[in-house]
Chain A
Amino acid sequence: DVKVTQSSRYLVKRTGEKVFLECVQDMDHENMFWYRQDPGLGLRLIYFSYDVKMKEKGDIPEGYSVSREKKERFSLILESASTNQTSMYLCASSQKPGLGYGFGSGTRLTVV
């Protein structure tokens, strides 16, 4: 089974801080994804990466950036955290973009 590990389960950050969310997968998958999940809005794609150093914007990239320096690691960066970025953040990986995803346990970020 795919193991996707997110570095933090819970985070509390202050408005304006730069926030790093880390994700590591152990299946040598080329494709990695960052979603946020909010009540009533479901899962929304922020960014994804289909290869090292490659990235592509998802549906809601504003206020976020990503980094993929190594195949197994995909980082989500909140350049200047705002309260509307309080959410559950889920990382996922897959062998190919259209195939089944393995998700991490999620990071619940609260921005105060």
Chain B
Amino acid sequence: GQQVMQIPQYQHVQEGEDFTTYCNSSTTLSNIQWYKQRPGGHPVFLIQLVKSGEVKKQKRLTFQFGEAKKNSSLHITATQTTDVGTYFCAGPYENSGGSNYKLTFGKGTLLTVNP
């Protein structure tokens, strides 16, 4: 079945260090999305990438979609304690038995930041 693999599972950094999480799909994606879930919270949509090789920035966060549209990365420059949480990537896959698409999530990368 469709899989979205995300690494690393955990990452602990000192405040000010950079952080990167990687996402790989078993199949080509029409788009890839990133979400952040704070401890005790719910996932919050961050961004969607659509084009091959696309790069988008949100302040200290840089999102990249691979040329083959099968992988993506999220890079945070100079982490802060407010960056703590789990970062998920997700891609739409056609649901088996139907013509509709479902969003399949990676298992996420838990980022902790030591102040």
* A and B associate in one complex: yes
The chain B residue with its CB closest to the CB of A43 is B105
Excluding A35-B105, A42-B108, 6 further A-B contacts by CB distance (< 8 Å) are: A40-B107, A45-B103, A58-B95, A97-B101, A98-B92, A100-B48
CA of A99 to CA of B102 in the docked complex: distance in angstroms?
Answer: 10
Interface size class of A (residues with CB under 8 A): 20 to 34
CA of A104 to CA of B41 in the docked complex: distance in angstroms?
Answer: 10
Contacts of A100 in B (CB 8 A): 33, 45, 48
The chain B residue with its CB closest to the CB of A104 is B42
**Segment 81-115 of B: residues with Cβ below 8 Å from A:** 88, 92, 95, 97-98, 100-108
Q: Which 10 A-B pairs have the closest CB atoms?
A: A98-B92, A42-B107, A100-B45, A97-B101, A43-B105, A103-B42, A98-B101, A103-B43, A56-B98, A106-B42
Q: Mark A9-50, 1 if CB is under 8 A from B, else 0.
A: 000000000000000000000000101000011110100101
CA of A95 to CA of B109 in the docked complex: distance in angstroms?
Answer: 27
**A43 and B102 contact, CB distance less than 8 A:** no
Q: Check: A105 CB closer than 8 A to any chain B CB.
A: yes
Task: From the candidates A33, A41, A42, A105, name the one contacting B88 in the complex (CB within 8 A).
Answer: A42
Contacts of B106 in A (CB 8 A): 42
